[in-house]
Structure 1
Amino acid sequence: MNDKSQLSIPIIISILSLLAFSFMAFIVRVNKIVQFDSTVISFVQGLENSALTVVMKVFTFIGDTKAVIVLSILVIIFLYVVLKHRIELILFIVAIIGSAMLNQLLKYSFQRARPELHRLIEIESYSFPSGHAMNAFTVYTVISFLLWRHIPSRAGRTTLIIISALMIFSIGISRIYLGVHYPSDIIAGYFASGCWLGMVIWFFQRYQESRSRKRTYKTSTSKG
């Protein structure tokens, strides 16, 4: 795969995610996803037991805004102090803050009420798309993107992707299990975050490519 193909991947993912989110938003608006939501909720909440409830509450806590802020601060410190990558630091901050702002904008645009079927915790605010789903997808995907190049072994990279995927999935499922989100809220949150991240990473890579070309030009000019 050449460099141009690699550069185009994030924007393609962004466009596909936008189309998928738009489709989810449409079928939610016209109430064409009620049966799907009900079926998934019945299955997930049918697994309820005291031990699993504790686990799901832990995962939903990890995806909460306060926990995300703490994790983000640790990542920022690691990027700045250990890796000394200030450009990656900017990417991380823009991705996290932008995702949170986009989530609030979408919630107030759709104003979907939360499910009332069987809640194990109480929470206010609107339901669509899930803030926890967007938090999880944004944080763990951008961490994977930034750490990928610093992990030399294939096993290490595979472990990174598996852990990130499990965290994203588990945090999303916890919201359905606890009765505070419809499955469509979670899926839409993933797509919304995918759209945002794809765009941000595309701009980041374009900027990196531009800097690289300038450095190459300066080097060749100085030698000439």
Structure 2
Amino acid sequence: MISWHWSRGFKLFLLFAVIFGLIAVLVAYNYTAAFDERIIHLVQSAESPALTSAAKTLSLVGSSKIVIGLSLVIMAALFLFFKHRLELLLFLWVGVTSNMLNTVLKDSIHRERPNIHRIIEEPGFSFPSGHSMAAFSVYGALTFLLWRHLHSSAARVLLVAACFLMTAAIGWSRIYLGVHFPSDVIGGYAASCAWLMLSIAWFESLRAFLKKHKK
């Protein structure tokens, strides 16, 4: 019998997977061109040395190496303070596999990066944004794992707000720097959310199974 956690999580996975699929189709047929160009011009119209410096810093924070390093630190903290080994497994799984998924998707879709105004150069394909996927995976998993340990409503709101703003800021930085279309960023969020929902469903089902058989 499928557990409640798995059933709900799988439905959310399907929802966001369909959303990603729709975005991918729109991108493939170039239906997002006008939207992408308008948003890029809007974001880059505010270009300044201070914003460029901030965008480069955020982009660095969202890079795979930094995200992996951050994941290891968070995993160590979860183990030291909460002693939750299963949560370490979820964090490791999401961090590693979301990066692998991004590589597969990029190599499958083959979208070239924008050439409107690049402030920095970046190798590889454009869709979906790897930085956006990594940020959503890490901060989304962090929100899920820490939520149960925070009993104050204010602390929970602060956690969600901080993770949301960080994820959104990293996505903004990639558009500002001219290395991603807005649809790359949105597609990255959708793909990562789908994978995170599936991973959380698996995690919760595994935890429920182990708890049941431990009694």
Distance 1:42 1:27 in 2: 20
Using the alignment, how far apart are the partners of 1:11 and 1:168 within structure 2? 23
Match of 2:48 in 1: 49
Moved more, 195-204 or 10-19: 10-19
Structure-to-structure mapping, 1:46-85, within 5 angstroms:
46-85=45-84
SS in 1 for 2:96: helix
- Report SS of the residue matched to 2:30: coil
Aligned equivalent of 2:212? 213
Aligned partners of 2:7, 2:155: CA distance in 1, in Å?
26
Q: Which residue of structure 2 lines up, in the alignment, with residue 221 of structure 1?
A: none
2:117 matched to which residue of 1?
A: 118
Which residue is equivalent to 1:109?
108
Q: Displacement, 1:50?
A: 1.2
| CA distance in 1 between partners of 2:18 and 2:54 (Å) | 33
Whichever residue aligns with residue 88 of structure 1, its letter is E
Deviation, 1:209, is: 1.4
Query: Partner residue of 2:159?
Result: 160
CA distance in 2, matches of 1:52, 1:190: 23
Query: What is the distance in 1 between the residues matched to 2:162 and 2:206?
Result: 29
Q: What is the CA deviation profile of residues 34-72 of structure 1, one whole-angstrom value per residue up to 9, with x for unaligned ones?
A: 001011111001111111111111111110112112211
1:143 aligns with 142
The match for 2:35 is 36
What runs of 5+ residues in structure 2 fail to find an aligned partner? Answer: none
Q: How far is 1:7 from its partner?
A: 5.3
Which position in structure 2 is the counterpart of 1:133? Answer: 132
CA distance in 1, matches of 2:137, 2:54: 22
TM-score normalised by length of structure 1: 0.92
Quote the residue 2:13 is aligned against: 14
Shift in Å, 1:9: 3.5
Contact 2:109 2:127 in 1 (8 A): yes
Q: How many residues align?
A: 213
d(CA) in 2 for partners of 1:89 and 1:152?
21
SS at match of 1:80: helix
Percent of residue pairs identical: 42
State TM-score, norm by structure 2: 0.96
Shift of 1:79: 1.6
- C-alpha distance in 1 between matches for 2:155 and 2:84: 21
Letter in 1 for 2:141: V
Structure 1 portions without partners, runs of 5+: 219-224
Deviates more, 1:128-137 or 1:58-67: 58-67
In 1, are the aligned partners of 2:14 and 2:194 still within 8 Å (CA)?
yes
